[in-house]
């Protein structure tokens, strides 16, 4: 008898009846409650074979009994999970970006479940890569992944930004460092032909909101329909929407953010792109700012002054239980923004909470429109940019939604 192939000698996780379908459909997560049996002692972080209750093959996954997600399936094939495997999988992800974001040099190169690599995120900022591993099995294979990334895109630098709360649930501690090359201070990243200075070792997310890159362009096109527009960019961070609007011809753009660092960086970004004359960024709490601008005395009338307002807040929800509070927050900013919009004006609004679906989100906007006696025309719908792929059989891969409305009256 020949020695068993390494794959067949892997420990086996047998699922309970009726638990196999979602795995076959492409969902990678297996919770403890779905498991009938594990054939032999497995060490956390190891590869396992996954089979249905009749012992039919389903795939190979990464095991971690410490995590709520006990197994993350990474392939349905009978294949060795080595550097070549990661290289092929990441190459496929790169091709998706090249097809759907042609010409882009900065994008999320691997988005975990969206690219069938649960627990791995790789962002590409020109020639610098930022890596995050949020699952033990991926974390243990970091060096293999780094080698695959070097072969594929020859990055100047690879940064590790592993400070996510989710690592705790996998038994992993925080890590932040340079895995390859060197990095001296903030870098200037090219996004849609604009330059954004960003600190890849300390900024939000891994540096920029790459998921909005397609929406920056589309929103700017809509703003350009009103030559010389006056624009308000709420929650402006590094000036993503503001700078795109200014480049598209807006004559006065005001950005608001409660982070003084973000305001300072956005101001530098405006200068670096030759857009300083049109853009000002203010350090303000958007809720307070909008309230002060919409509060009028008994005999005063509010004069709307903006041709376009962008609302791109952080997620107001952490879980399902916080949704009602979040909806009150969304309603409040929409009510006030609508009061500040001129007739015919454009409202581009986004919600990045997975727990608020787009119908619910639109209902909030409509309720604010009703209260302010505005009627809206929907002129665009937005979702996350194609470097954050949405896989319908993995509902968790959808989170960003948005709309552009014009005020009819």
Which residues here bind ligand SAH, judged by CB under 6 A? 209, 212, 235-238, 240-241, 256-259, 262, 285-287, 312, 314
**Active-site residue, 234 included:** no
Q: At what angle do helices 240-247 and 260-272 cross, to 10 degrees?
A: 30
Q: Report d(CA 205, CA 31) in Å as an integer.
A: 27
Task: Identify which of 374, 315, 385, 333 has the alpha carbon closest to the alpha carbon of residue 104.
Answer: 385
Q: Report d(CA 280, CA 268) in Å as an integer.
A: 10
**What DSSP element (H or E) covers 13?**
strand 12-15
Q: Choosing from 234, 279, 351, 352, which is the catalytic residue?
A: 352
Q: Name which of 152 and 238 has its Cβ closer to ligand SAH.
A: 238
Ramachandran angles phi, psi of 81, nearest 5°: -95, 90
CB of 316 to ligand SAH, least distance (A): 9
228: left (phi over 0), alpha (psi -120 to 50) or beta: left
Ramachandran angles phi, psi of 321, nearest 5°: -65, -25
Q: Name which of 87 and 387 has its Cβ closer to ligand SAH.
A: 387
Q: Name which of 122 and 333 has its Cβ closer to ligand SAH.
A: 333
CB of 286 to ligand SAH, least distance (A): 4
Which residues have a Cβ under 8 Å from the Cβ of 307 and sit 6 or more positions away?
Answer: 223, 226, 229, 230, 231, 250, 341, 342, 344, 345, 346
Q: Name which of 286 and 335 has its Cβ closer to ligand SAH.
A: 286
CB of 320 to ligand SAH, least distance (A): 21
CB of 232 to ligand SAH, least distance (A): 12
Which pair of structure tokens corresponds to residue 144?
A: 């293999």
CB of 272 to ligand SAH, least distance (A): 16
CB of 330 to ligand SAH, least distance (A): 12
Which residues have a Cβ under 8 Å from the Cβ of 371 and sit 6 or more positions away?
Answer: 335
Q: Report d(CA 167, CA 172) in Å as an integer.
A: 5
Residue 125's CB: how many other CB atoms inside 10 A? 25
Ramachandran angles phi, psi of 121, nearest 5°: -125, 135
Q: Name which of 44 and 282 has its Cβ closer to ligand SAH.
A: 282
Q: Name which of 287 and 390 has its Cβ closer to ligand SAH.
A: 287
Task: Identify which of 174, 104, 100, 96 has the alpha carbon closest to the alpha carbon of residue 133.
Answer: 174
Active site residues: 352
């Amino acid at each position: 008898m020949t020695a068993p192939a390494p794959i067949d000698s892997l420990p086996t996780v047998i699922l309970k009846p009726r638990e196999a379908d979602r795995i076959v459909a492409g969902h990678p997560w297996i919770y403890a409650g779905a498991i009938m049996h594990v054939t032999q002692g497995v060490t956390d972080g190891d590869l396992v074979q996954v089979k249905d209750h009749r012992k039919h093959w389903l795939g190979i996954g990464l095991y971690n009994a410490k995590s709520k997600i006990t197994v993350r399936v990474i392939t349905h094939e009978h294949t060795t999970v080595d550097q070549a495997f990661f290289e092929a999988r990441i190459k496929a992800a790169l091709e998706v970006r090249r097809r759907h974001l042609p010409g882009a040099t900065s994008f999320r190169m691997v988005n975990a479940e969206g690219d069938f690599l649960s627990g791995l995120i790789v962002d590409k900022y020109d020639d610098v890569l930022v890596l995050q591993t949020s699952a033990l099995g991926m974390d243990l294979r970091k060096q293999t992944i780094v080698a695959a990334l070097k072969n594929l895109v020859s990055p100047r630098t690879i940064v590790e930004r592993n400070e996510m709360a989710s690592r705790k649930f996998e038994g992993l501690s925080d890590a932040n460092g340079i895995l390859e090359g060197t990095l001296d201070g903030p870098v200037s990243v090219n996004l849609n032909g604009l330059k954004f200075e960003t600190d890849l070792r300390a900024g939000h997310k891994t540096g920029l909101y790459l998921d909005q890159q397609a929406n920056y362009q589309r929103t700017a096109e809509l703003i350009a329909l009103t030559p010389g527009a006056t624009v308000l960019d709420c929650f402006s961070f590094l000036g993503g929407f503001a700078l795109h609007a200014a480049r598209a011809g807006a004559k006065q753009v005001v950005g608001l953010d409660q982070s003084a660092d973000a305001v300072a960086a956005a101001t530098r970004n405006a200068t670096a792109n030759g857009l300083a004359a049109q853009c000002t960024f203010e350090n303000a709490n958007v809720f307070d700012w909008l309230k002060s601008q919409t509060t009028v005395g008994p005999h005063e009338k509010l004069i709307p002054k903006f041709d376009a307002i962008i609302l791109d807040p952080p997620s107001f929800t952490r879980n399902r239980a916080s949704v009602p509070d979040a909806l009150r927050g969304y309603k409040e900013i929409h009510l006030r923004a609508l009061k500040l919009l001129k007739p015919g004006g454009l409202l581009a609004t986004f919600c990045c909470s997975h727990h608020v679906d787009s119908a619910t989100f639109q209902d909030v906007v409509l309720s604010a429109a009703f209260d302010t006696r505005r009627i809206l025309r929907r002129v665009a719908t937005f979702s996350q940019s194609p470097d954050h792929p949405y896989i319908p059989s993995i509902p968790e891969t959808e989170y960003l939604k948005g709309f552009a409305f014009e005020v009819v009256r």
